[in-house]
Structure 1
């Protein structure tokens, strides 16, 4: 009688220990003022009220929103189009292209940051050297200029994640029955019409999954802005995850950091649930 519960118990034990307990601890810590040592001082909702007035947190929210928009409306469509191209019949060296686009995902973020720092160096970077040779001028401050820094982080996010998401779309495209395309051809549908009437509806569940996971990953973005721009110049590329890191480990404001992390968790959870409903994830047809 107890055998089924014994088999599923490890999942729930781990879920409680590594998900529920940390969330409850963060909720309690967000109501305190604590520097990492001694006894936390209860301050109620003061941390959340301070966050509402903190311009740095507002900037971090705006930047994270930008990263989310880039991830959902640029990275996901590029991954879909790339997967469609790689799925084309007769494409030579298909496996080589697949591996090439997936390589950025398995590289260490530190290696990626180092390579892009060398490529985008204002004085000696390869990108500026090519631009100077072709168009002249003094080059672009890719990391030091606030607007260009945002674009740089967005490009790195695109380069790193598009190949990873392409794998999901490729798997979905391979599962679409060829009969549907043949029926569309008999009805006079061309490649573009077949894409919108056959491909997109057939891979809708995978597309919904990719959109939600891309949103969650972009909302929690940390590696790229931290390693490439360190959130700068100023706070031009500061993400909410970086804001939490700075509050906790640079200023030792652990209660304040917990409050910011809890706000991020609530926003991500709420929007994810909304996307689940809009995209009908897990809903029977």
Structure 2
């Protein structure tokens, strides 16, 4: 009896030493990388945002001066407004269109389904530079295919698609729709295929038509994926850079300038790295705060 008790005590004594640190060692690489590539850059950006620095020499600490200058900067307010428009387009137009396309691709008896899926997904894998070149050729004022078609069919003169402030926003919004809708449709399609067929059969027995089944069965069933798509679309649109930079360079004037482009100009064109860091911190705070609001509103991560 004494021997058994001593062995059990020895076993209990060896557990912390033999396995106590093993879980921490396994998860340590994640936390080390998280600190190095997330926490440290954020802290460095916050410190840099309180300095004046041209990229060489030692930064000069100026406190909250950069943030005060941002409040009075009309270019920054314009960039915030433009980014807000891109966010609305992504959430209000792109996401519903992606859901409708996924619903169509999930329909029974659809021929060439795989071809349609590849076709919708191709824009997302194309290089942004290729996209800019293609749309530049399509929308050129004098020689663009779109203007030539409009002139031949309706007699419309040369439309300056990328030189008019209003039309330039429309072009950027259309490119967002064209490029992202197929990618987001993949998420919705996966969610739709996971909805049990029994739910639709029960709704059909209750006399529900296609629209009612979509509202009462499909939307509640895919709510987690829908919430994820909305939040990720918001974050991506708020940080939009490629499309306005490559298509319009933020112009005409500042009509399509995004916050990400504003940061790029401040840092790499004017060498105001502290000012650019301040704008980046403001963007981070806005995106983080709105994402948290969306997480709570859409109940992301909660059990239904």
TM-score by length of 2: 0.93
Answering whether residue 59 of structure 2 is matched by residue 40 of structure 1, we say: yes
> Within 1, Cα distance between the matches of 2:158 and 2:216?
45
Q: How does 1:240-255 map to 2 (within 5 A)?
A: 240-255=259-274
Provide the aligned length of Structure 1 versus Structure 2.
285
1:138 to 157, 176, 182: 157
Structure ID, larger Rg: 2
> Matched residue of 2:286: which SS?
helix
Q: Structure 1 residue 3: deviation in Å? A: 1.3
Answering whether residue 269 of structure 2 is matched by residue 279 of structure 1, we say: no
Q: Structure 1 residue 73: deviation in Å? A: 0.2
Question: 1:85-118 CA deviation, whole Å, 9 max, x = no partner?
Answer: 0000000000010000000000000000000000
> Within 1, Cα distance between the matches of 2:239 and 2:66?
20
> Within 2, Cα distance between the matches of 1:139 and 1:174?
46
Answering whether residue 193 of structure 2 is matched by residue 213 of structure 1, we say: no
Per the alignment, residue 23 of structure 1 pairs with 42
> Matched residue of 1:114: which SS?
helix
Answering whether residue 63 of structure 2 is matched by residue 56 of structure 1, we say: no
> Within 1, Cα distance between the matches of 2:290 and 2:298?
12
Per the alignment, residue 84 of structure 1 pairs with 103
Q: Structure 1 residue 18: deviation in Å? A: 0.7
Question: 1:130-159 CA deviation, whole Å, 9 max, x = no partner?
Answer: 111111021211100000000000000110
Answering whether residue 163 of structure 2 is matched by residue 154 of structure 1, we say: no
Per the alignment, residue 14 of structure 1 pairs with 33
Q: How does 1:124-273 map to 2 (within 5 A)?
A: 124-273=143-292
Q: Structure 1 residue 79: deviation in Å? A: 0.1
Q: CA RMSD in A?
A: 0.5
> Within 1, Cα distance between the matches of 2:100 and 2:158?
32
> Within 2, Cα distance between the matches of 1:117 and 1:158?
17
Answering whether residue 21 of structure 2 is matched by residue 2 of structure 1, we say: yes
Q: What residue ranges of structure 2 are gaps of 5+ in the alignment?
A: 1-19
> Matched residue of 1:92: which SS?
coil
Runs of 4+ in 1 over 4 A off after TM superposition: none
Q: Structure 1 residue 13: deviation in Å? A: 0.8
